[in-house]
A and B are shown apart, each in its own frame.
Chain A
């Protein structure tokens, strides 16, 4: 037997400590150099800065979190380690380490938005109330634009999994019941005259000839975008001259590569070959630099792209879009002397799905078109959804437009009631929603209600008031309010002067009475006239 030299034992004992020390010390020593031995991580965000020395107790309390963020974003060799992680998990095990990416079949990646996947699996919980909310928001926009003689349309681009379900993991499909888009399409077709375009059929048709979505990006590619554009353009012949709608013969294809977003979400660099199009005789539209370069205009207004053609005979357009527009914007731009695109869907702009009435008023377009991806529907609680619950998607003047149409449609119908008496009282009929029980109220008494005409459903009230200052008039006071349940207008801001306002009231009692409350100085407003109508869509 031979003995083991002590030096050998000592050296062997140093191995693991040395490895551990090296592994933790290198990222420490290279702190601030996350890109050493590795490229940009493609995370689409600004890394956290080193926190400054705390000046107050509040600053002190924030230090650990701020420093954590700094270390997380800046430790040495970070990007290399992240990419190694992605390569190991995706390359070796075929799994995604990011919850935001779903690994499909044959190398296809999908954006794993929980809401979208519930919808895709047929587990989405879109209620009748959701459908109604979406319809009302779109109808209000359409009616407001119609008053201004502007064409309005809505086009919904499908999510990638709607078109390429065959590359989704088998257990996630097929749908057992309709998706949100299926249900909204049916709902809109039966109840609304808003032009509502479901682009799935166009994309499925185009799919037979070309791949219409990127394999590793969440968006459609230029083929898909072209199919979407054509479908939309043919639906509005008054805006898009059918002779000038672009198609493959008008375009020259060129191969290019595109850095796709889903591998970046996995921490890898990923590019995909794609076909880009050039117009055979050159693009007419040119992009206008609309910003000062720091993204300020985009943040303030959501305006992402402006293009112009020096031809006053062409129409003007305003598109409300999401990121899918990036691929078909050039095609649309060829039809307009000026085309402005506003993106308010993306949460990054923090503008929610707010209707850009002020930009429309300034731009005076001939058409307002909404083009967004199916994912903005669904059982949605986030602000980037269409008509997200709890968010006023439309400004008051736009909300009034639909009520004006409903009022006009019902005015001649039986059941139109004229006010006979307005009583001011400090003793409301019902408990007040969000105000003290002594809040000033009006009892509005209508005449003309014959026996048996009493209707429990909501009424549409048109009131005329004169106010000395700004205040709020409210018509719904309980959680069980039918008007609130149906997403109708129940609160309305009254400005100084004479105003004519429309709002939904839950119902008249047997004596033809309903109640309105004044939130603010009740003495500053005078009631001039009121009418009530019933409408089947209320």
Chain B
């Protein structure tokens, strides 16, 4: 169940909110809702989720109650347990396929390859579980003695399937005791609606176009169409992911939690280093704190630092998916991070800020092609079409076919809001207007007027979102289906 589906919006969310408000057992209601949310998408793997919860609960207790030598051993067990689950369900097929390719090349027989179905949100809940046990080991977090509370932390539905990746210590206190103010509900609702709009009004229309363009056979793909598809994908993934994070953060706030921010206008960056401080910030933070720094970070020799960076970005690529194109995507980012450290960043700083932005957008855009491509070969074919294509096809593969008013509108909105300029400008205007009206003694009029304006704005956006979500359920047939 995704947040932008009719089932979530018109059934799950109102039911969860009503039960949460009326029930005295808030955590139990939220946990039940979270488990139901997960079971909806994974009716079988809910058992895996419960196993991960129980395993980490017991390992946390073991870590806490042991002497230092044993604690280290328990930590190894805990990390191995979590990574083992992740490896088996997400990577075993890719790993053994790659081994078999080598064995085949060497003329040896192939190993049997299990093909487990990828459980929903496994990368997120495993990473959250690991932060818990590692933080307990490091003494950064207190052990959780209530299974319900730990289960709620690992499975909490607002951030279960797409983040942000929350550390236990960030919400432990609020799991134990929290109150929800009107301001929380208000801010949470607004954030949810903004996230929904990002997903439904910008990402989804672009996604249809991206899907269609990335399906075009390489021989029919013109450079203009390929570039349009790639830029659309850059916008789609940003609005999809950040929209989902916004919805998660908003829902969390409505239930009294404050999740960390996950995106901060990443396309405004001028270097890749800055980009990763603004893109999927909770993942970058996770890799920094639980991998890069333990590996030595940038404290060692430059060679060691570059090796650490390569490892981190290789694993970042793999975290997004088990295939070679994700590895190439991660390594491309790692490579440019190294170039920046080797002097590219200094050189860029001497250029105009537009050149810096163009550099960042070009690198990110090219790497997105590998992220979106079906496989490595497709990614290379697509890039070839972008840079060396000569095709100018007519018919359904022509660029005109994709430039509908709706897509152009979503594209324009995507470009406009990908920078923080527009929201900042609006906020500044509102702030100065309020201050001016307060000075003029008209604050009591200004606030309701702004509230009315906000109501109209949010209602319009929400209405547009809901009609789009409803349209998803429309499945008309030319002839009657029996």
Contact = CB atoms under 8 A, between A and B. Distances in A.
Interface of A: 1-5, 8-17, 19-21, 23-25, 27-28, 31, 41-46, 60-61, 63-64, 67-68, 71-73, 75-76, 78, 81-82, 84-86, 88-89, 93-95, 97-100, 111, 114, 117-118, 120-123, 169-173, 176, 218, 261, 264-267, 295, 299, 323, 346, 348
The interface residues of chain B, by DSSP majority, are classed as: helix
Nearest to A62: B43
A42 B481 CA distance: 12
A24 B476 contact: no
Contacts of A85: 467-468, 470-471, 474
24 contacts: A12-B450, A15-B455, A16-B190, A17-B185, A17-B189, A19-B189, A43-B475, A71-B6, A71-B7, A71-B10, A71-B11, A72-B7, A75-B10, A81-B470, A82-B471, A86-B471, A93-B405, A97-B406, A121-B397, A123-B395, A171-B395, A176-B394, A261-B478, A265-B476
Interface string B126-164: 000000000000000000000000000000000000000
Given A93-B405, A299-B482, A20 B471 contact: no
B305 to A, nearest CB: 46
Given A4-B447, A60-B43, A75-B10, A171 B470 contact: no
Contacts of B468: 85
B400 A171 contact: yes
Contact of A75 (B6, B193, B471): B6
A267 B10 contact: no
B476 A100 contact: yes
Interface stretch (B13-21, B62-70, B109-117, B259-267): B13-21
Nearest to A117: B396
Contacts of A89: 406
Given A8-B451, A171-B395, A265-B478, 13 more contacts: A2-B438, A14-B182, A15-B458, A19-B459, A23-B466, A43-B476, A64-B1, A82-B467, A84-B463, A84-B467, A98-B474, A122-B394, A348-B481
B179 interface: no
B396 A123 contact: yes
Nearest to B435: A1
Contact of A68 (B7, B407, B459): B7
B285 to A, nearest CB: 29
B248 to A, nearest CB: 15
A373 to B, nearest CB: 11
Nearest to A73: B473
Contacts of A8: 444, 447-448, 451
- For A31, A46, A89, the residue with the greatest tally of chain B CB atoms inside 10 Å of its CB is A89
10 closest A-B pairs by CB: A121-B395, A12-B451, A81-B470, A171-B400, A72-B473, A85-B467, A27-B10, A13-B186, A93-B405, A85-B471
A348 B182 contact: no
Contact of B479 (A5, A15, A44, A68): A44
A417 B186 CA distance: 91
Contacts of A16: 186, 189-190, 193, 454-455, 458
A2 B441 contact: yes
A9 B448 CA distance: 8
A304 to B, nearest CB: 11
A172 B401 contact: yes
A171 B476 contact: no
Contact of A64 (B40, B182, B400, B471): B40
Contact of B15 (A4, A28, A78, A265): A28
B462 A19 contact: yes
Contacts of B9: 24, 27
B395 A122 contact: yes
B41 interface: yes
A97 B14 CA distance: 27
A100 B472 CA distance: 13
B186 A4 contact: no
Nearest to B439: A1
A95 B405 CA distance: 7
Nearest to B468: A85
A46 B482 CA distance: 7
B447 A44 contact: no
A44 B407 CA distance: 28
Contacts of B396: 114, 117-118, 121, 123, 172
Nearest to B471: A85
Contacts of A24: 9-10, 13-14
- For B14, B188, B400, the residue with the greatest tally of chain A CB atoms inside 10 Å of its CB is B14
A117 B395 CA distance: 8
B211 to A, nearest CB: 10
Contacts of A171: 394-395, 398, 400-401
Nearest to B480: A44
A94 B405 contact: yes
Interface in B393-442: 393-398, 400-401, 404-407, 409, 438-439, 441-442
Contact of A78 (B394, B455, B473): B473
A265 to B, nearest CB: 4
Contacts of B476: 41-45, 98, 100, 264-267
Given A45-B481, A61-B44, A17 B186 contact: yes
A239 to B, nearest CB: 29
Interface size class of B (residues with CB under 8 A): 35 or more
Contacts of B371: none
Contacts of B405: 93-95
- For B5, B189, B397, B459, the residue with the greatest tally of chain A CB atoms inside 10 Å of its CB is B189
A537 B397 CA distance: 37
Given A117-B395, A171-B400, A348 B480 contact: yes
Contact of A348 (B5, B7, B438, B479): B479
Contacts of A111: 478
B454 to A, nearest CB: 6
Contacts of A81: 466-467, 470-471
A312 to B, nearest CB: 35
A376 B473 CA distance: 28
Contacts of A266: 476
A230 B467 CA distance: 46
Contacts of B472: 72
Nearest to B459: A19
Nearest to B17: A21
B443 A1 contact: yes
A2 B406 CA distance: 45
Contacts of B467: 81-82, 84-85, 88
Nearest to B406: A95
Contact of B478 (A31, A72, A218): A218
B447 A323 contact: no
B192 interface: yes
Interface in B64-85: none
A79 B120 CA distance: 31
Nearest to B469: A81
A12 B401 contact: no
B482 A295 contact: yes
A24 B7 CA distance: 10
B197 to A, nearest CB: 12
Nearest to A323: B479
B187 to A, nearest CB: 9
B474 A267 contact: yes
B299 interface: no
B345 interface: no
A266 B471 CA distance: 9
A170 B395 CA distance: 9
- For B182, B395, B466, B479, the residue with the greatest tally of chain A CB atoms inside 10 Å of its CB is B395
Given A13-B183, A81-B466, A85-B471, A64 B41 contact: yes
Contacts of A14: 182, 186
Contacts of A60: 43
A429 B15 CA distance: 70
Contacts of A4: 443-444, 447
A11 B459 CA distance: 16
Contacts of B97: none
Nearest to A20: B189
